[in-house]
Amino acid sequence: MNNLSFIKQYLKNPKTIGAIMPSSKYLAHKMIEDIDFNHSECIIEYGSGTGVFTEGLVKNKSEDTKLLLFEYNEDFCKLLKDKFGNEKNVFIINDSCENIDTYLLKYNINNVDYIISGLPFASLPQKISEKILTKTRKVLKNDGNFITFQYTLLKKDFIKRYFKYIDLKREFKNIPPAYVFNCVNCK
């Protein structure tokens, strides 16, 4: 899928897509560079889109690590299935990550180490964001990490309410430049 197709998806669903083009490889690197791939039982990605972050997750994860990809958009989901459908222990889910608990049961997952998110919290309805973050905190292990990017700091205080602390980085070589929030969970 090229950038024009991504823009088309954005024009159809601006609030849930939340960006006019996929993230850059630079941002993808910053999103995953702190993951301890050798000691992860389960990694989850919210809003995989065309799979820019997924590529690094699939490439670096151990074979036994379960990777669940949540993507709400049907066209993006088909693309993810074409790209990653044959990978071992990668499960591609065409549903909202609000329903994460159902899939943890389905795939027999008790421990979630990392949740990587491409969700556009700035444009998602507040109630949906609240539901997602409440469940995220519940399913992530103690000291597990929720890693998300945002183009501004407007939602920082809102996201901070759910976690012990946030470690902040910035990637200028993304269009537009983005902040990476590494949020540490506390149970």
Ligand X SMILES: C[S@@+](CC[C@H](N)C(=O)[O-])C[C@H]1O[C@@H](n2cnc3c(N)ncnc32)[C@H](O)[C@@H]1O
Q: Which residues contribute to the site for ligand X (CB under 6 A)?
A: 16-19, 22-23, 46-49, 52-53, 70-73, 76, 96-98, 118-120
Residue pair 51/83 in contact by the 8 Å Cβ criterion: yes
* Closest CB to ligand X among residues 72, 163: 72
Helix (H) or strand (E) holding 179: strand 178-184
Smallest gap from residue 120 Cβ to ligand X (A): 5
* Closest CB to ligand X among residues 43, 119: 119
* Rounded-to-integer distance, Cα 168 and Cα 165, Å: 10
Q: Which residue has the tokens 């991504």?
A: 6
* Closest CB to ligand X among residues 53, 181: 53
Smallest gap from residue 13 Cβ to ligand X (A): 7
* Closest CB to ligand X among residues 53, 179: 53
* Closest CB to ligand X among residues 28, 166: 28
Smallest gap from residue 88 Cβ to ligand X (A): 22
Smallest gap from residue 78 Cβ to ligand X (A): 12
Q: Where are the alpha helices (DSSP H) in the chain?
A: 3-12, 14-17, 25-32, 52-60, 74-84, 100-106, 126-139, 156-160
* Closest CB to ligand X among residues 33, 143: 33
The pair of structure tokens assigned to 63 is 């074979």
Q: Half-sphere exposure (CA, 13 Å, Cβ side) for 183?
A: 27
* Rounded-to-integer distance, Cα 168 and Cα 179, Å: 7
Smallest gap from residue 65 Cβ to ligand X (A): 19
Count of C-beta atoms within a 10 Å radius of residue 86: 8
Smallest gap from residue 45 Cβ to ligand X (A): 7
Residue pair 65/43 in contact by the 8 Å Cβ criterion: yes
